[in-house]
Amino acid sequence: MSDAPALPKTMRAAVLRTPDVSEFTIERIPVPQPRAGEVLLKVEACGVCHSDLHVARGEIAFPRPAVLGHELSGTVVCLGEGVKDYDIGDRVVGGFIMPCTECANCLAGRDDLCSVFFENNRVHGALFDGESRLVDAEGERLNMYSAGGFAEYAVIPVSALARVADELELASAAVLGCAGMTAYSAVSRGAGDVEGSTVCIIAVGGVGLSITQVVAGLGARQIIAVDVSEEKLELARKLGATSTVNARECDVIKTVKEISGGGVNFSFEALGLPSTLGQAVRVLGEGGRAVAVGLAAGDAEVTIPITNFVRRGQELIGSFGARTRVDLPAVQRLAAEGGFSVENLVTDSYALDEINQAYTDLAQGNISGRAILRIA
């Protein structure tokens, strides 16, 4: 390891212990050490995302005790062996998919499908060598969900990092690590070239609002946001939507077709319900492509009208996460150039010890954009 500023021996972290209760406890645990190809970050902020909520409630299986938090920004304070691309003091954002860079999918550029990451981290709560970097005060292993960003310090592989430009507020830039890069990949890999196109985004929470910003930043001509919350639709207009449709007040398919003059070139579904994914296909025009971004419960299935879909040459594609090494730097660049406002996406901020309040607010639908925990 290279020379690093003096670091404390312990830190505060939000630990999830019980198997069935979604309550985090703030504990003092040892500051972790980075190994080869990793850095230690002093965490500036970490996003409050639905995935953590699903884990906390036990809806997504994950081993406990654990430190969650997968959308983080911070400053590099210690370099692991062999790290050359980053220096102490660098401002960075960490992506939630941490690509191993060596599996067949990573070698093909599909970080979003990295088998080593999903097996070691999402199943076993570890990094690529099968070990966690975190233990509690008694020395008991703590599992890491991605880098475990709900703590004052976090170890993260450099393959998951992108630098944050000086123009961006570091805390708000955390949202690029999940919502931002997920949106960017859904647009750039899922949809393709959106410049001059017509787009419909169904459900504008953190990811949907990020898609709204990305397609606006990349030059889409018409952006129709659909949701049931007036507050979210108002935020969508602020972030680039040219029209909004309140799904409680009208027939979504008919209205979107009217606004777009027969159907859109691209649609995005960010909720994960059979009904809304069905809408995403039905609002397409000829040759249109629907991108499914929202994860669904269990074995949910969608019905689509076959003849219409075939005759009109439409497409449906799934998109989860992002090609971290490509999409995270790209969305950071878009943000630095003013095409994606991280500050406007962040509507709520909490301290680390307010984490239970943050997830209660998220669960109750009280967060219109994205919430972050300001940890530094």
Beta strands in the chain, from DSSP E residues, in sequence order:
10-16, 24-30, 38-48, 66-67, 72-79, 91-94, 134-135, 141-144, 153-157, 161-163, 198-202, 222-227, 243-246, 264-269, 284-292, 315-318, 346-351, 370-374
Please report how close the Cβ of residue 362 comes to Zn ion at its closest, in angstroms.
11
Does position 178 interact with Zn ion (CB under 5 A)? The reply is yes
Does position 68 interact with Zn ion (CB under 5 A)? The reply is no
- Of 86 and 320, which CB lies nearer to Zn ion in the complex structure? 320
- Of 10 and 115, which CB lies nearer to Zn ion in the complex structure? 115
The stretch near Zn ion (CB under 5 A) out of 85-93, 118-126, 171-179, 289-297 is: 171-179
Q: Tokens in use for 200?
A: 């419909």
Site for Zn ion in 208-247 (CB under 5 A): none
How many other CB atoms sit within 10 Å of the CB of residue 18? 12
Rg (CA), the chain: 20
Question: Cα 285 vs. chain centroid, distance in angstroms?
Answer: 29
- Of 106 and 203, which CB lies nearer to Zn ion in the complex structure? 106
**Residue 276 is which amino acid?**
T
Q: Tokens in use for 256?
A: 């979107």
Please report how close the Cβ of residue 116 comes to Zn ion at its closest, in angstroms.
5
The stretch near Zn ion (CB under 5 A) out of 176-184, 229-237, 324-332, 357-365 is: 176-184
Pairing relation of β-strands 91-94 and 153-157?
A: unpaired
Please report how close the Cβ of residue 245 comes to Zn ion at its closest, in angstroms.
25
- Of 32 and 177, which CB lies nearer to Zn ion in the complex structure? 177
The 9-48 site mask, x for binding Zn ion (CB under 5 A), equals ----------------------------------------
Pairing relation of β-strands 10-16 and 346-351?
A: unpaired
Binder of Zn ion out of 11, 46, 49, 176 (CB under 5 A):
49
Distance CA 260, CA 243 (A): 10
N- to C-terminal Cα separation, the chain:
23
- Of 116 and 202, which CB lies nearer to Zn ion in the complex structure? 116
- Of 120 and 188, which CB lies nearer to Zn ion in the complex structure? 120
Does position 147 interact with Zn ion (CB under 5 A)? The reply is no
**Which positions ≥6 away from 366 have C-beta within 8 Å?**
none
Please report how close the Cβ of residue 203 comes to Zn ion at its closest, in angstroms.
15
Q: How many chain residues are in contact with Zn ion, going by CB under 5 A?
A: 8
CA distances from 187 to 114, 207, 332 (A): 20, 11, 15
- Of 252 and 372, which CB lies nearer to Zn ion in the complex structure? 372
Does position 114 interact with Zn ion (CB under 5 A)? The reply is yes
- Of 52 and 256, which CB lies nearer to Zn ion in the complex structure? 52
Does position 116 interact with Zn ion (CB under 5 A)? The reply is yes
Binder of Zn ion out of 29, 76, 78, 103 (CB under 5 A):
103
Does position 276 interact with Zn ion (CB under 5 A)? The reply is no
C-beta of residue 48 within 8 angstroms of C-beta of residue 161: no
Q: Which residues bind Zn ion (CB under 5 A)?
A: 49, 51, 100, 103, 106, 114, 116, 178
